[in-house]
């Protein structure tokens, strides 16, 4: 379906902002964006772990060696069992193997 950008009818999805109105930020949104702080990965992990205490889980941040992708592991506190991997390590391994077959990763200079 094509939509004429000059048409007066608006097609909005609930929960999403209109693109044209998002360029005009209110004063409170501007203040909030100025108050945002850049966090490091360990700081964010610590903040999240403090909130996950009630759930009986914690997260670990891990770097996938082959693709240099950050992985998040959700681990149960009592059993140290991995509840969830984001993204899954098998998926990253599969992605790496496909990239090697296609030739995306090169070890030598030409």
Helix (H) or strand (E) holding 61: strand 57-64
Q: Is the pTM of this model over 0.85?
A: no
Q: Count CA atoms closer than 13 A to 70's CA, side-chain side.
A: 8
Please report which helix (H) or strand (E) contains residue 75, including its range: strand 69-76
**Of 42, 43, 25, residue with least CA distance to 34:** 25
CA distance 30 to 37: 14
Instruction: Split the chain (110 residues) into runs of 10 and give each run's mean pLDDT.
Output: 39 40 54 73 90 93 91 94 94 91 69
Question: Smallest Cα–Cα separation from 59: which of 69, 68, 47?
Answer: 47
């Amino acid at each position: 379906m094509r939509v004429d950008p000059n048409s007066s009818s608006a097609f909005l999805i609930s929960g999403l902002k209109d693109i044209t109105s998002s360029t005009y930020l209110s004063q409170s949104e501007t203040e909030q964006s100025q108050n945002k702080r850049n966090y490091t990965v360990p700081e964010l992990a610590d903040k999240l772990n403090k909130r996950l205490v009630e759930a009986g889980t914690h997260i670990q941040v891990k770097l996938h060696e082959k693709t240099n992708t950050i992985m998040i592991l959700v681990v149960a506190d009592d059993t140290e069992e991995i509840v969830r991997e984001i993204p899954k390590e098998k998926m990253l391994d599969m992605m790496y193997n496909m990239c090697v077959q296609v030739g995306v990763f090169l070890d030598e200079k030409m």
